[in-house]
Chains A and B, each alone.
Chain A
Amino acid sequence: MTATTPPAAVASVGADLFAGAIEAQAVTVERVDWRPPMDGTADDLATVATDPLRRDANRRAVEAMLAVQGNLVDVAPASEVLGLEPGQFLHAGPPIAWDRTSGPLQGALLGAAALEGLVGDPEDARALFESGSSVSLDPCHHHSAVGPMAGVVSPSMWMFVIEDSESGRRTYCSLNEGLGKVLRYGAYSPEVLERLRWMSAVLGPLLRDAVRSTGPVDVTGILTQMLQMGDEAHNRNRAGTLMLLRDLAPAMVDVGHAAKDVAESLRFIGGNDHFFLNLAMPACKLALDAARDIEGSTMVVAMARNGTDFGIQVSGTGDAWFTGPAQLADGLFLGDYGPDDANPDIGDSAITETAGIGGFSMATAPAIVRFVGGSVPDALATTRRMHEITLAKNPRWTIPVLEFEGAPTGIDVSAVCRTGILPQINTGMAGKLAGVGQVGAGLVTPPAEIFPKALAALAHRVRSRA
C-alpha cells in the first residue's frame, strides 16, 4: 500500500465515532465488537502479542497439525502397545490422586480392577486404590492415548492404534462400549464387565485381524466425510461408524473367525452410534501432538477433564497442565435423571474440540442441537463464534452449510483471554455416583480461569527469553 492510495476497507476497533467518520468518507468499515479482556490479562496479552516468536510459532503449529494423516493400523491389548502392567491404570484428564477422584472415575477404576482380576468384587478395589501400594494412576495423555469419559485403560483392554504415515508417530484409544451402563460412565455392574470381557476376547482380536488384513484405514479421511454427513464427531458419530463398518466388514467376514462372533461384532458396532468416537479422538490427538512444544506458540494442544479438574496443555508451555474445576454440562437428561445426578465434566473427548470438530463444528450437526434446547441458528452461531478464538480454518474438514468454510482450528489462548469466548464442548454426562453410568448429554465449557493461567505462563516464558 502506498501512502497516497486509499485503503480498500478499514477495520476499526474502539470508539465508534471514528468508524462513523470513515464511513462518512465513503470507505467500508468493519467494526470490531470489542470488550475488555478477561480480568488481569492486559499486560500478559501485550507481552505475548509482541513476542517476536509468536506469529511463526503459531503458523508452524497449525501447519504441523494439519499435515497429519491418521490411519488405523492395528488393534492390540494395552499391555502390548502401551506396556501397561497389572495394577497400572490410565484415566482421562489431567493427573489426579484417588482421594480427589469423582464418582464416575472411581466407578470405572473399580470395574477395571475387577476386570484385571485384582479383586473379585469391584467394591473390594476401593481399599487397593486408597492404599495405593499395588496400583498407580496416570493420565492417558501421558501415554500418547486418549480415553472418553472416565477414560480408564487397564492392561487387558484392547486399543485402536492410529499412526501418522509421514512420521510413524502413534496414538491409542480403547474400543467404545456403547451408551448407558458402561465402564467409561462409571458403571461396573456384572453386565458391564461381561461386555468388556467379550470385547477383549472376541471383538478386539477380530478387529485386529480385519485391520491387518485390509490394511490401514484412513481415519482423517473418514472424519472429512463425516463432517459432510451431519456428524460433528463428538456427540454424533453415526456416519463415521457406518463408514468404518463399510471399510472393515469384508475383512471381518473374511479373516476366518466364527460366523457367530462376526455377526455379533457387526451388530455391536452397527448398534453403537458412538463406535467411531474412539477413532476420532486418537486421530485428533495424533494431529495435535504434532503441534506440541513449539516455543512461542499460544495454541492449545489438549483439553481434558478427569471429572474433578479441567486441564489444558499449550504448545508453547511443554507438558504443563493448567487446571480449574470441571463444570457441569447444560443439556438433556436420560429418564428421570436431573441436574443433581450429574457429575462435572469428564473425559479426554474434548480433544475433538481442540482439533476443531465436536462443539466447534456444531454447525454441521444440526440434528443434535436440541441436546441443549438450542436451534439451528445457534449451531451456526457457535461454529462462527469459535472462529473468533481459533488460529486457522481446516482446509480438509469443511462444513457445507457454512459455504464449505473450514472447521475452526487451533484454539488460541490469547484470543480466548481477549474475547472471553470459551471453547464450546459437546459432551456426555456421567452420573456423579460411582456405578450409575450415563445420565445425559449436553454442552459445557472449560472453567474460564485456566486460560489466563496458561497465558501468564506463556508471558513468563517470553519475559525470561528477552
Chain B
Amino acid sequence: MTVSHVEIRSGAYADSVTLLQVSREVAGAPGVTAAQVAMATPLNLEVLERMGFEIPPCSPNDMVVALSLESEDHLSSALAAVATALSATSRRSEAGEAVVPPRTTRSALARAGADLALVSVPGANAAVEAMDALDAGHDVMVFSDNVPVEQEVALKRIAADRDLLVMGPDCGTAMVGGLGLGFANVVEPGAVGIVAASGTGCQQLMCLLSAAGVGVGAALGVGGRDLSTAVGGLSTRQALRRLDADPAIERIVVVSKPPAPEVARALEEYAATLATPVDFALLGQGQPDLTNATEKVLSTLGRPVPTWPTWGTVTRTARPGYLRGFFVGGTLCDEAMLLAAERLGPIRSNIPLSAELALDESMTADAHLMIDFGDDGMTQGRAHPMIDPTLRLEHLARAATDPSTSVVLLDVVLGHGAESDPAAGLAPAIAALDVPVVVACVGTEHDPQILSTQAAALAEAGAEVHLSNARAAARAVALVEEATR
C-alpha cells in the first residue's frame, strides 16, 4: 500500500528541464515509488492526475511536489531528497551577499555587455523577453515554441524596422560565428551560410555538408513558421540580407519545412536580387529531399558527393504490417513522410501532410504512422524530446508489443543541447524490438556525443544507422514493401 504526498509550493520556480532532472533524482530515492516535481501547468496537472495524484487547486505559477511512497516513514527522507535536488540545480549566490541576479533579459544583456539573447522560456512569455533584446539593439534567438503567431509577426516587424534578426520562435538550431545555439552540431567553419526555417533540417544539412568536407560559416534559424502565409518570410529576408552582406559567406542555402507557395516564390524573387547565390531546399511533394538538396549544393560548389555513411545492417525480418516512425525532429519527420507516402500511401501523423491524416489523442492507428515528438502539441509543459526521451521510449515500448508493427524508423539528433548519450536510452528499446529498426543519426565527429560512438552503439543494439534521414526513410520503406509483397 503506497502513500501519496502532494504539496503546492507557491512562489517556487524552476524550468521544466531542471524539474525533470529533479523528479528523476527524487524518484530514485529510497522508499519512493514515483515522484513528480513540476510547475502546475494544465499539461503537468494532467500528467500528475494520470499518475494517480490528487492535486488541490493551484495556479500555473505554483510548483507541485507529488510523491508516492512505500510508507509514511519515507516522507521526511523523500522531502530531503527534493530539497537536495532542487538546491543542487540552483545557481543563486551565497546568502548575505548583496548581489541580485538579473530577472529580465534586459537586465542580463546590460550586465554582461551581451550582444545576443537566447530565449527558451514558455511560449506565452517569450515575446516579452525577446523584445528586451530588440529594444537593446541586439539579435535574439527564440527557442520557445507555442508563441502566438501574432506575437511572432509583431516581433519580426519591429526587428525588420531596426535591422535586427529574430531567430525563431520555435528555432531549435542556430550557429553564429561558430557559436552553436540551442541544438547545434559542431562543424568546421566555411563559406556556406544557411537560413533555416527548420531546426533539424538545418542540422541534417550541416552534418551532411560536414561529412562531405564542406564547412558552414553561419546558420541563421528563422523559426518553423517563418515561411507561412501569416509570417511571410520576415526573418528569412532579414537573414538573407545579413548573410549577403557578410564577405565570409559565398553561398547561401535556405532550408525549410513545406513553405506557403507564395512566400517561397517571393523569397526566390528576393534572393535573385542578392549578390550571393542562393539555393533553396524547401521540402514538399515532388521537391528534392534534404540529401538530394545537399548533393546539389556540393555539385554547384564543385565538390564530390561522398557515399553517405551507414553503420550496421538490418538482420531482423520485417513482417507484414505498418511502418512506425518516431521522430524528435519535425523536419526529419516531414521528410520521411514525404518519401514514404509516395510509395506506401497515406501516413497518419500528428503533423500530417494533409488534415484528414491527423492522429487522434491516442497517437495510434492501424496504419502507417509517424509521430513528431518535438511538435508544439507534444511539448507543452514538458521538455523537448531531444532532452527528455521518456515519451518516445513509451511509444517504442508500445510498438514492440504491437503485432502490426512492420518496421520502426527513428531519428537521433546529436550536438550541443541534446541528451548527452541518447543511444544509452534507445539501445535497450531497440534490442527489445523483434522487427527491423532503421535510424537516422544526425551528428558529426566533433559533437559532444561523437557521431561514430552513438551510431556504433545503436548498430550494436540491432539498428541500421544512416547519416542521411532520406536514406534511412527510403530503407525503412523498402523493408515494409518487401514484407508486404
Interface residues of A (CB under 8 A from B): 1-19, 21-22, 24-25, 27-37, 39, 42-43, 45-46, 49-50, 52, 55, 377-378, 380-381, 384-385, 387-388, 414-415, 418-419, 421
Query: Quick check: B121 and A30 within 8 Å, CB to CB?
Result: no
- How many angstroms from the CA of A36 to the CA of B60 in the assembled complex? 9
Query: Quick check: B13 and A24 within 8 Å, CB to CB?
Result: no
- How many angstroms from the CA of A418 to the CA of B107 in the assembled complex? 12
Contacts of B148 in A (CB 8 A): 46
- How many angstroms from the CA of A29 to the CA of B122 in the assembled complex? 20
- Majority secondary structure of chain B interface residues (helix, strand, loop or mixed): mixed
Contacts of B121 in A (CB 8 A): 13-14, 34
Q: Please judge, given known A-B contacts A30-B102, A32-B103, whether A18 and B112 are in contact too, CB under 8 Å.
A: no
Query: Quick check: B103 and A10 within 8 Å, CB to CB?
Result: no
Indicate which residue in A32, A380, A384 contacts B108 across the interface (CB closer than 8 Å). A32
- Smallest CB–CB gap between A401 and chain B, Å? 10
Query: Quick check: B100 and A388 within 8 Å, CB to CB?
Result: yes
A-B contact pairs, 24 of them (CB 8 A): A4-B189, A4-B218, A7-B115, A9-B114, A9-B116, A10-B179, A11-B105, A11-B109, A13-B120, A14-B118, A14-B121, A14-B129, A17-B387, A19-B118, A21-B180, A33-B92, A34-B103, A46-B124, A46-B151, A49-B131, A377-B98, A381-B98, A381-B99, A388-B102
- Majority secondary structure of chain A interface residues (helix, strand, loop or mixed): mixed
Indicate which residue in A13, A27, A50 contacts B117 across the interface (CB closer than 8 Å). A13
The 4 closest A-B pairs by CB, nearest first: A14-B120, A6-B177, A30-B112, A380-B98
Interface residues of B (CB under 8 A from A): 13, 15-18, 39, 59-61, 89, 91-92, 96-109, 111-122, 124-125, 127-129, 131, 133, 135, 138-139, 143-144, 148, 151, 154-155, 158, 176-182, 184, 189, 193, 217-218, 220, 239, 242-243, 245-246, 248-249, 383, 387, 416-417, 448
Contacts of B98 in A (CB 8 A): 377-378, 380-381, 384
Closest to B144 in A: A14
Q: Please judge, given known A-B contacts A9-B115, A11-B117, A46-B128, whether A2 and B181 are in contact too, CB under 8 Å.
A: no
Contacts of A36 in B (CB 8 A): 13, 39, 60-61, 122, 125
Contacts of A31 in B (CB 8 A): 91, 101-102, 108
- How many angstroms from the CA of A8 to the CA of B139 in the assembled complex? 12
Contacts of A29 in B (CB 8 A): 112
Query: Quick check: A39 and B61 within 8 Å, CB to CB?
Result: yes
- How many angstroms from the CA of A338 to the CA of B231 in the assembled complex? 61
- How many angstroms from the CA of A179 to the CA of B154 in the assembled complex? 53
Contacts of A9 in B (CB 8 A): 112-116
Contacts of B144 in A (CB 8 A): 14
Q: Please judge, given known A-B contacts A1-B139, A18-B181, whether A13 and B105 are in contact too, CB under 8 Å.
A: yes
Closest to A19 in B: B118
Query: Quick check: B112 and A28 within 8 Å, CB to CB?
Result: yes
Closest to A59 in B: B135
- Smallest CB–CB gap between A310 and chain B, Å? 21
Contacts of B243 in A (CB 8 A): 3
Contacts of B383 in A (CB 8 A): 15
Q: A3-B239, A4-B248, A14-B118 are in contact. List 20 more A-B contacts (CB 8 A).
A: A3-B243, A4-B176, A4-B177, A4-B217, A6-B179, A7-B176, A10-B112, A11-B117, A13-B108, A13-B120, A14-B144, A15-B16, A16-B15, A16-B17, A16-B91, A30-B108, A31-B101, A49-B131, A50-B154, A385-B100
